[in-house]
Amino acid sequence: MDAQDSNELKPDLMSFSKTMQTLSNPLNSSVAAQSESFLEIRDISKVYPTPGGDFVALDGVNLTVKEGEFICLIGHSGCGKSTLLNMVAGFHQPTSGMITLHQKPITEPGPDRMVVFQNYSLLPWKTVFENVYLAVDAVYKDKSKGEKKAIAQEHIELVGLTEAADKRPGEISGGMKQRVSIARALSIRPEMLILDEPFGALDPITREELQEELLSIWREHRVTVLMITHDIDEALFLADRLVMMTNGPAAKVGEILEIPFSRPRMRSRLMEDPRYYELRNEALDFLYRRFAHDEIEE
């Protein structure tokens, strides 16, 4: 593990351990909800108290996510994307407004919503297998050790890491670490996968590989995905809808682009589609003209 990893691991590990504390609760089995009322973000604001006074990070954020949808969230640095995702994950509460899943308010982290961070948040002293097993063990209280081991192994295999199961995070690449995080998140069968810029630290080739793996996992598991990205092309390849946020303070959803490409998607096909460039230009126009970041313009 390099120095940067060790510095950045701490907050994510704190969030992860907070999730793990609530994982020991029985699974929330509100499965009968209608798809149109899956995740509702209603008129959310988030105000942070600071020594200089209250800072309004988000104000009037509204978004409805359908079950099984793949949503990407984009916006300039500091606009409040992580703030919003942390509230959906249940790590923080909104100052006003409400977020509901299956019409029940989200009040804490839970195994129905698993988070994957950019910095992997793996326990460096545990092996790949142990990192995944830990989550499985915390959730599946009624299963035998053998069954739990099989679940961990199955998900390590799903992300192609069987050969590396006995290695520790410091002995594997960034792409492999992110695969472990995804395997760990999926191993407890969440309804939602919440991804905070998961591929931001990866090289372009690994990034494209993982995007494709994520799409096939999403298709097979029918999990609902909410993912932050800074990359318009990544969003156009992955998402059903691209949610573009205005700049803070008091950021909100500025515009939502419907991404019409049929699935399964092939990157080379998308590049040949004139609509790809229209959508890309629309996103670029939003980010760099209508909501240009002051610092970027200077």
> Can you give the binding site for ligand ATP, defined by CB under 6 A?
48, 50, 55, 57, 75, 77-83, 248
Please give the Cα distance from 175 to 125 (Å, whole number): 18
- Which letter does DSSP use for residue 30 in this model? -
Give me the least distance between CB of 24 and ligand ATP, in Å please. Answer: 27
Residue closer to ligand ATP (CB basis): 81 or 179: 81
Rank residues 58 and 135 by Cβ distance to ligand ATP and give the closer one: 58
Kindly report the number of other CB atoms within 10 A of residue 249's CB atom. Answer: 15
Nearest residue to 99 (alpha-carbon basis) of 115, 116, 79, 113: 113
184 φ, ψ (degrees, to nearest 5): -65, -45
- CB nearer ligand ATP, residue 78 or residue 254: 78
Give whichever of 57 and 161 is closer to ligand ATP, judged by the CB atom: 57
Tell me how far, at minimum, the Cβ of 243 lies from ligand ATP, in Å.
12
- Cβ-contact 258, 241 below 8 angstroms: yes
Q: In the bound complex, what is the minimum distance in angstroms from residue 156's beta carbon to ligand ATP?
A: 29
- Kindly state the smallest distance separating residue 249's Cβ from ligand ATP, in Å: 7
| CA–CA distance, 38 with 99 (Å, rounded to integer) | 10
What counts of helices (H) and strands (E) characterise the chain? 10, 10
Q: Based on CB atoms, which residue is closest to ligand ATP, 19 or 119? A: 119
Given a contact cutoff of 8 angstroms between Cβ atoms, the answer to whether 28 and 106 are in contact is no
CB of 85 to ligand ATP, least distance (A): 8
Q: Which is nearer to ligand ATP, 83 or 131 (CB)?
A: 83
d(CA 280, CA 283): 5
Q: Least Å distance between CB 81 and ligand ATP?
A: 4
